Structure 1
């Protein structure tokens, strides 16, 4: 049996889960998330816990068991606490500022680069070299952070660019000079 899939999901206070027409809706203090899961997975609520079970032991069912449980856990965590990713901007003259809901980057290009906040995502800029991306959907937060990182990925010689907080950039040796 799946080690992840067999674990129950604890529901914090204020989080409600409902199912209708094969769609699971999770509501909490931060908002509401909906998702459809495979019909082979059975999601049941027992008290303050959600339990995911599978109908059979086929390879596909075993693979979906842990996935379904992990996605449900992310939905519950998102509506109760939310998710965030922190990006750091490294480089002389590289900066970011918040203009309404839009991020305006100065990344060494001949023009400023603007990024509009997608639905359900909020940006925070505590200082000109840091961006915090927040939202209730873990997949959307991660994808938004990845899209911003692609504007100027960190390069291996000086480490300049946009990187995740705590990300290790493997450095290369530059020219030796003679």
Structure 2
């Protein structure tokens, strides 16, 4: 039995949610999102909360139960509060700046890396070594953060590169004489 799937998803104040068949739509102060649940789970509204239950007791239906509930919860939190990922840049001469809607990164290459901000995502650089990515869709915010980190992922010897703010780089010892 899914412990996560059993819990109903409460609709936060200021958010309107509707369930039409397998589609859950949420509209809040930050925007509007929708999620289409798998056919093996049943989604319905009960007492101002969205309840997800498996269609039958098969392993496949139970495996999609908790994930579907989490996706519904993510859209509820996204339209009410939004999501944010912080990246840190370490290294001599490594920096980030905003050029209009584009993110310009100096990461030790012979050229600057220019990253175009996707629709629905906002990127800010409060410091030259800090990038804040925010938006209402958790998956897209994480994907953009992963794409920016991929330009120069942190290396284990000096820790140079782009890393998540909460990430801990496991350091290696260099050559010994």
* TM-score normalised over the length of structure 1: 0.96
Aligned to 2:127: 127
Contact kept, 8 Å, 2:26 with 2:75, in 1: the verdict is: yes
Runs of 4+ in 1 over 6 A off after TM superposition: none
Deviations 1:80-117 (A, max 9, x none): 00000000000010000011111000001011100011
Instruction: Give 1:48 shift.
Output: 2.3
| C-alpha spacing 1:23/1:50, structure 2 compared with 1 (3 Å) | closer
Aligned to 1:84: 84
Rounded to whole Å, the distance in 1 between the matches of 2:20 and 2:101 is 34
Contact kept, 8 Å, 2:24 with 2:35, in 1: the verdict is: yes
RMSD across aligned C-alpha pairs, in angstroms?
Answer: 1.0
Instruction: Give 1:40 shift.
Output: 2.5
Q: Which runs of 5+ in 2 are unaligned?
A: none
Rounded to whole Å, the distance in 1 between the matches of 2:159 and 2:37 is 41
Instruction: Give 1:23 shift.
Output: 2.2
1:56 equivalenced with 2:56 (yes/no): yes
Q: Which runs of 5+ in 1 are unaligned?
A: none
Deviations 1:24-81 (A, max 9, x none): 2111110011221112222121222111111211001100110100000000000000
| C-alpha spacing 1:45/1:21, structure 2 compared with 1 (3 Å) | closer
Rounded to whole Å, the distance in 2 between the matches of 1:61 and 1:166 is 34
* TM-score normalised over the length of structure 2: 0.96
